[in-house]
A and B are shown apart, each in its own frame.
Chain A
Amino acid sequence: MSSHREAPEIAKDPVADSTDVYAFVSPDRPDTVTLIANYVPLQAPAGGPNFYEFGDDVLYEIHVDNTGDGNPDVTYQFWFTTEVRNPNTFLYNTGPIRTLDSPNWNRRQFYSVTRKDARGRTQQLAKRVPCPPCNIGPLSTPNYGRLADAAVRDLGGGRRVFAGQRAEGFYVDLGAVFDLLDPRPFADAHEHFGLKKFPQSGPGVNATKNFNVHTIALQVPRADLTRDGYHGEDVNDPRAVIGVWTAASRQRVRMLDTEQNNTWATGPYRQVSRLANPLFNEVINPMGQKDFWNTQTPAGDSRFAKFVAKPEVAQLLPGLFPGVFPNLDVLNKSGKPRADLLAILLTGIPAGLIPGFQNFTGQTQADEMRLNTAVPPAGKPSVHGLLGGDLAGFPNGRRVFDDVVAIELRAIAGATYALVDKNYTPDPAATQVDDGVTPDSLDIPYLNRFPYLGVPNSGFLTPSA
């Protein structure tokens, strides 16, 4: 997946498990940037009676680096608190929830938002903001869209925030990808390993289609995030570029206290999950590095650069698809580092490689979602982002609908190597390979307004995810 359950330890801790990060110039308010961090993966919508929520014991953060050193210059912290109205019922709700303060809603969650800057100054932007309930069904949460809209809090100055359940917007054919990287549209070309019965080529299947996720979404003026408050239109101005990632932290000690019959935590917060570029920890880092990577900040990511320079997937493709990736095979065997991937994932793309574009943040190698905020939203967006000629899409930030699986798979297959080596000719398949899943596979549409991710799947109407 993008980063759902991507490392052994965090896979056991879903409320702290970051799944996707999005950062884009808001299409309906281009003077602002929208930052989204998703957590709590693969929520089966009918998963009651204890429906999904954020962790009261987890510190959620969205970090922004605007100086290119891999350290946060602006951080938004989100702290959640759960309140139970009536502990003497097992029910999440005892009647329809029509408003966020409905007495029928038994288990509510609130949060605060704090902004920190590089000088350590903190400002509480909001407190006791209500999350919407989960989308249970037409009896419990009638008119869910309106209910969730009420949970969008205006913070003033063009800022707004939302935290709560949303429909999973990320799409991928998991079953095919993790069955030895066998995208269904290209199954006929896949290595058969001597097996007689083998899948035939066919359309992709979106494995995350009916799931929900918990979203933290923030929309702020561009100047809130950029160096020197830059909000100009010069794409080549380095101050226009920001690097974004999310992190979740837990206190170092957790006690199951039998004497007081409760659980408590103490000590400093330690990072247990982080995410910027999709699939980085999932398919770039090897198993033995994933848990460690989750505890680190981007500033130290040069230690992981070797996995980007020689990605395992690129090494595998020529063998998994015999004869399909001959030029990639030669590139692999040359031992040349993948300078294209190092730029895309760790430093940003310098000026001069793609006409009219750069999102370079300097020589510090750091996994960040780099967004050039001076690039305006696209009039006709391509889900393939930069690969589709759309400068406003991934890997220039990431919009909710960007096909990051196809983009990254094609880049790893060599489609972007010609950017750094004009003598290299990508294999034809490198510009076509994908998992065969597009946003058309989603039943619930994205929104054209904040928070952009769609209304969550209803438990009643989606009884089997």
Chain B
Amino acid sequence: MPHEQQPTLAPEPGTVSRRKLIVTGASLAAAGVAVGAAASIPFAAAESAPQDAVAAGDGPKQPVMVHLRPGGRFDVFVGQDRIQLTDHAFAARLTDAVKAL
């Protein structure tokens, strides 16, 4: 069974490069906010994210799911892997966005 990558170095805001990741929707859950790939909210991704999954411009080649956990922590699911990162700024933006729902 594929292993999860953890713990992964969590880049702080400002140290990550910016790529566009398209997000289709968001849903509030007890643990946080789950966000799917493929729509419209810009996302600050980690350098360690799989290159083929978050290629700039034309979106990921395979589905990417992002789960926002408390504390600005993100689980990013792609293929059979998971990476973890922390981005307080993006977490705050997402939280503000779903508050409007």
Contact among B38, B78, B82 with A259 in the assembled complex (CB-CB below 8 Å): B38
SS class of chain A's interface: helix, strand, loop or mixed? Answer: strand
Q: Are A253 and B65 in contact (CB under 8 A)?
A: yes
Q: How far is the CB of A264 from chain B (nearest CB, A)?
A: 5
What 1/0 mask marks residues of chain A from 162 to 195 whose CB sits below 8 Å from any chain B CB?
0000000000000000000000000000000000
Q: Does A251 contact B (CB under 8 A)?
A: yes
| A residues in contact with B34, CB < 8 Å | 253
Q: How far is the CB of A266 from chain B (nearest CB, A)?
A: 5
Q: Does B1 contact A (CB under 8 A)?
A: yes
Q: How far is the CA of A391 from the CA of B12 in the complex (A)?
A: 62
Chain B: CB-nearest residue to A247: B1
Which interface class (under 10, 10 to 19, 20 to 34, 35 or more) fits B?
Answer: 10 to 19
Q: Does B8 contact A (CB under 8 A)?
A: no
Q: How far is the CA of A257 from the CA of B1 in the complex (A)?
A: 25
| A residues in contact with B36, CB < 8 Å | 255, 257
| A residues in contact with B3, CB < 8 Å | 268
Q: Are A267 and B65 in contact (CB under 8 A)?
A: yes
Q: Does A249 contact B (CB under 8 A)?
A: yes
Q: Does B79 contact A (CB under 8 A)?
A: yes
Q: Does B2 contact A (CB under 8 A)?
A: yes
Q: Does A146 contact B (CB under 8 A)?
A: no
Q: How far is the CB of A118 from chain B (nearest CB, A)?
A: 14
Q: How far is the CB of A64 from chain B (nearest CB, A)?
A: 15
Q: Are A268 and B81 in contact (CB under 8 A)?
A: yes
| A residues in contact with B78, CB < 8 Å | 266-267
| B residues in contact with A59, CB < 8 Å | 1
Q: Which of B19-35 contact A (CB under 8 A)?
A: 24, 34
What 1/0 mask marks residues of chain B from 47 to 80 whose CB sits below 8 Å from any chain A CB?
0000000000000001111010000000001111
Q: Are A253 and B77 in contact (CB under 8 A)?
A: yes
| B residues in contact with A257, CB < 8 Å | 24, 36, 38, 63
Chain B: CB-nearest residue to A265: B63
Chain A: CB-nearest residue to B38: A259
| B residues in contact with A128, CB < 8 Å | none
Q: How far is the CA of A251 from the CA of B79 in the complex (A)?
A: 9
Q: How far is the CA of A257 from the CA of B24 in the complex (A)?
A: 9
Q: Does A269 contact B (CB under 8 A)?
A: yes
| B residues in contact with A61, CB < 8 Å | 1
Q: Are A255 and B1 in contact (CB under 8 A)?
A: no
Q: Which of A77-112 contact B (CB under 8 A)?
A: none
Q: How far is the CB of A182 from chain B (nearest CB, A)?
A: 40
Q: Are B82 and A267 in contact (CB under 8 A)?
A: yes
Q: How far is the CB of A263 from chain B (nearest CB, A)?
A: 10
Chain A: CB-nearest residue to B81: A268
Q: Does A252 contact B (CB under 8 A)?
A: yes
What 1/0 mask marks residues of chain A from 247 to 282 whose CB sits below 8 Å from any chain B CB?
001011101010110001011110100000000000
| A residues in contact with B77, CB < 8 Å | 251-253, 266-268
Q: Are A269 and B80 in contact (CB under 8 A)?
A: yes
Q: How far is the CB of B12 from chain A (nearest CB, A)?
A: 24
Q: How far is the CA of A252 from the CA of B80 in the complex (A)?
A: 9
Given contacts A251-B80, A252-B77, A253-B77, contact A266 B1 (CB under 8 A): no
Contact among B24, B38, B64 with A266 in the assembled complex (CB-CB below 8 Å): B64
Chain A: CB-nearest residue to B3: A268
Q: Are B4 and A268 in contact (CB under 8 A)?
A: yes
Q: How far is the CB of A116 from chain B (nearest CB, A)?
A: 9
Q: How far is the CB of A78 from chain B (nearest CB, A)?
A: 13
Q: How far is the CA of A259 from the CA of B25 in the complex (A)?
A: 11
Chain A: CB-nearest residue to B5: A268
Contact among A252, A260, A266 with B62 in the assembled complex (CB-CB below 8 Å): A266
Given contacts A253-B65, A255-B65, contact A269 B1 (CB under 8 A): yes
Q: How far is the CA of A268 from the CA of B80 in the complex (A)?
A: 4
Contact among B38, B63, B64, B82 with A252 in the assembled complex (CB-CB below 8 Å): B82
Q: How far is the CB of B64 from chain A (nearest CB, A)?
A: 7
Q: Which of A263-320 contact B (CB under 8 A)?
A: 264, 266-269, 271
Q: How far is the CB of B21 from chain A (nearest CB, A)?
A: 14
Q: Are A268 and B63 in contact (CB under 8 A)?
A: no
Can you list 19 contacts pairing A with B, beta carbon distance less than 8 Å?
Answer: A59-B1, A253-B34, A255-B36, A255-B63, A255-B65, A257-B38, A257-B63, A260-B38, A266-B79, A266-B80, A267-B80, A267-B81, A267-B82, A268-B1, A268-B3, A268-B4, A268-B77, A268-B82, A269-B2
User: A257-B36, A266-B63, A267-B81 are known contacts; what are 13 more A-B pairs with Cβ within 8 Å?
Assistant: A59-B1, A251-B77, A251-B80, A253-B34, A257-B38, A260-B38, A266-B77, A266-B78, A266-B80, A267-B82, A268-B1, A268-B2, A268-B81
Please give the residue numbers on chain A whose beta carbons come within 8 Å of chain B beta carbons, in ascending order.
Answer: 59, 61, 249, 251-253, 255, 257, 259-260, 264, 266-269, 271
Task: Across the A-B interface, give the 5 residue pairs with the lowest CB-CB distance, nearest first.
Answer: A267-B77, A253-B65, A266-B77, A268-B4, A253-B77
